[in-house]
């Protein structure tokens, strides 16, 4: 049976590499839409404990095309004019990256001790999604250039922090996935 159709997909891991951050693998460079760090670069950020994730179909903007058949116009096809993809994940840990996205701060790290709300810009960069089956075999591994957001309030107290990340895929010729 193909791993793609295996119903025991259980684990999802996210790694993130912010735009404008320097990388050293496969060689020296700066992360950008058309400049992707290598998979083994040490600057990839582990996003946290992903409880669940989902890909969200997004309705495309379409223009209906009609043609005569023979004396009236009937729908022939739809012309897609705008296409996007989104996804999300529930993360059961509060990280420096989550705080940066939530409060729109400048870049934060695990060594950060202070931040200023609304001092930063949108968080864009490379998201590496790794999806595994119950036998620890990779089912899907993808690198996608995204805008990363926190999509709902983050409740702190009474248990584990829960961060609901959302991403929107942005076009890059380097977006790729393996199955």
Contacts of 148 (CB under 8 A, 6+ apart): 16, 97, 101, 123, 124, 125, 127, 165, 166, 167
This prediction has a pTM of 0.88
70-91: pLDDT as tens digits: 999 999 999 988 888 999 999 9
Question: DSSP assignment of 93-138, as one string?
Answer: S--HHHHHHHHTPSP--TT-----TT-S--EEEEEEEEEEETTS-E
Per-residue pLDDT at 4: 60
């Amino acid at each position: 049976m193909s791993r793609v159709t295996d119903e025991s997909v259980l684990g999802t891991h996210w790694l993130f590499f912010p735009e404008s951050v320097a990388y050293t693998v496969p060689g020296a460079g700066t992360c950008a839409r058309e400049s992707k760090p290598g998979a083994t670069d040490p600057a990839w950020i582990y996003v946290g404990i992903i409880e669940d994730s989902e890909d969200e179909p997004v309705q495309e903007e379409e223009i209906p095309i009609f043609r005569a058949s023979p004396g009236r116009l009937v729908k022939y096809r739809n012309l897609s004019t705008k296409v996007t993809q989104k996804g999300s994940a529930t993360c059961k840990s509060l990280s420096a990256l989550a705080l940066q996205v939530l409060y729109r701060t400048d870049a934060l790290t695990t060594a950060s001790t202070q931040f200023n709300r609304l001092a930063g810009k949108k968080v864009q960069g490379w998201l590496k999604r790794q999806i595994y089956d119950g036998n620890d075999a990779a089912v899907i591994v993808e690198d996608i250039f995204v805008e990363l957001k926190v999509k709902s309030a983050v409740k702190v107290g009474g248990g584990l922090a829960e961060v609901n990340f959302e991403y929107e895929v942005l076009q890059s010729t380097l977006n790729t996935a393996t199955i």
